[in-house]
């Protein structure tokens, strides 16, 4: 159902953008007093310009896929390339126009792009859906961040771990990994390759349910966004015992996709702060408890030192929830819908 809704929103936005750009180009042609204001040529020009825009966007986003920030020089070059290509396309479709008239005809198209960008920032992202990238492996194997993948030495399933840039520019790989069957291993995987990090969609209108993946603002640092699995709901008492989740003293059955996960109450020889039998997480109204799937490498409700004003350290206030993760959309090999 959510997939259908997102596809519908995407198609509506694409149609709105194409119609807006075409109308803007026709307006520009009228303003420069072009005698050729063909609708078919205008549509063809807009489609070609959008293909160029998509190509430059992919080039600009590639460094971010690997955790890098594109330089200002690269961003300026991409913008100049887009402007030059747009002018060339308009000139190709309307060869009687001079270069100055081409640029003048393109200005309304530019303003339309600004308006559509404002629509994205002020309507789509706050109220409908937003895209995020996963930088870490605290939610592996469900969501994979920048790091490495190989073969689990215990069961042969794909295994995922974290990598980071060393002081000499080398790529350092942590031995800890977790596989698709939730086997945790510190052994060296037989073969490894770099992982890009999943790109996800978070829907803003869905009401969160137990076991959902949620994007949220960190209680003690609201400027920082994280993704974890929602386990405890308002008014519940959450404890972890023998690797299982207990809700109000009763074991909570895991969904099928989490079969095999064992939530830890001791990490590196030290007991976690919250969610144990001795330190249960007692949630007030509008408070939640979140856990990472990679239980030995997740900074989640079990380990938080301080919370939001008026809330316990382990509690995620409802107002900090941003959206429910519904899809991995990139890379294509990792595409997945989470059944909402």
pLDDT in tens, the chain (340 residues): 899 999 999 999 999 999 999 999 999 999 999 999 999 999 999 999 999 988 887 776 666 555 555 567 777 888 888 889 999 999 999 999 999 999 999 999 999 999 999 999 999 999 999 999 999 999 999 999 988 898 888 888 999 998 877 776 667 788 889 999 999 988 655 666 888 899 999 999 999 999 999 999 999 999 999 999 999 999 999 999 999 999 999 999 999 999 999 999 999 899 999 999 999 999 999 999 999 999 999 999 999 999 999 999 999 999 999 999 999 999 999 999 998 7
Q: Residue 255: CB partners within 8 Å, gap ≥ 6? A: 211
Please, which residues bridge with residue 171 across strands? 165
Q: Looking at residue 229, what is its pLDDT?
A: 98
Q: What is the C-alpha to C-alpha distance for residues 53 and 94, in angstroms, rounded to an integer?
A: 20
Q: Is 129 in contact with 204 (CB distance < 8 Å)? A: yes
Domains of the chain: 2-131 (no CATH), 147-195 (no CATH), 206-337 (2.10.109.10)
How would you classify the pairing of strands 213-218 and 321-330?
antiparallel
Q: Looking at residue 32, what is its pLDDT?
A: 95
Q: Looking at residue 65, what is its pLDDT?
A: 56
pTM attached to this predicted model:
0.88
Q: Looking at residue 71, what is its pLDDT?
A: 64
């Amino acid at each position: 159902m959510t997939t259908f809704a997102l596809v519908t929103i995407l198609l509506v936005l694409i149609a709105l953008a194409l119609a807006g750009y075409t109308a803007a180009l026709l307006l520009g042609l009228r303003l420069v007093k072009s005698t050729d204001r063909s609708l078919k040529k205008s549509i063809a020009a807009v489609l070609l310009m959008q293909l160029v825009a998509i190509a430059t966007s992919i080039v600009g986003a590639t460094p971010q896929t690997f955790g890098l920030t594109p330089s200002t020089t690269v961003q300026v070059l991409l913008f100049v390339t887009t402007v030059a290509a747009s002018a060339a396309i308009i000139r190709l479709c309307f060869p009687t126009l001079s270069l100055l008239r081409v640029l003048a005809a393109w200005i309304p198209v530019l303003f339309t792009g600004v308006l559509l960008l404002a629509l994205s920032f002020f309507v789509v992202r706050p109220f409908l859906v937003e895209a995020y990238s996963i930088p870490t492996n605290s939610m592996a194997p469900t969501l994979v961040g920048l790091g490495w993948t190989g073969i689990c030495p215990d069961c042969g399933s794909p295994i995922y771990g974290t990598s980071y840039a060393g002081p000499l520019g080398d790529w350092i790989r942590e031995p800890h990994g977790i596989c698709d069957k939730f086997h945790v291993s510190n052994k060296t995987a037989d073969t490894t390759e770099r992982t890009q990090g999943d790109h996800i969609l978070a829907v803003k209108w869905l009401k969160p349910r137990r076991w959902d993946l949620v994007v949220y603002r960190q209680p003690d640092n609201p400027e920082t966004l994280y993704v974890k699995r929602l386990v405890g709901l308002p008014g519940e008492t959450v404890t972890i015992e023998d690797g299982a989740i207990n809700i109000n003293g009763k074991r909570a059955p895991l969904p099928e996709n989490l079969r095999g996960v064992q939530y830890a109450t001791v990490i590196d020889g030290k007991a976690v702060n919250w969610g144990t039998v001795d330190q249960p997480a007692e949630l007030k109204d509008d408070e939640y408890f979140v856990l990472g799937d990679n239980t030995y490498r997740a900074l989640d409700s079990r380990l938080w030192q301080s919370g939001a004003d008026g809330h316990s350290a382990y509690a995620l206030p409802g107002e900090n929830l941003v959206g429910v993760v519904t899809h991995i959309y990139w890379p294509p090999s990792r595409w997945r819908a989470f059944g909402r």
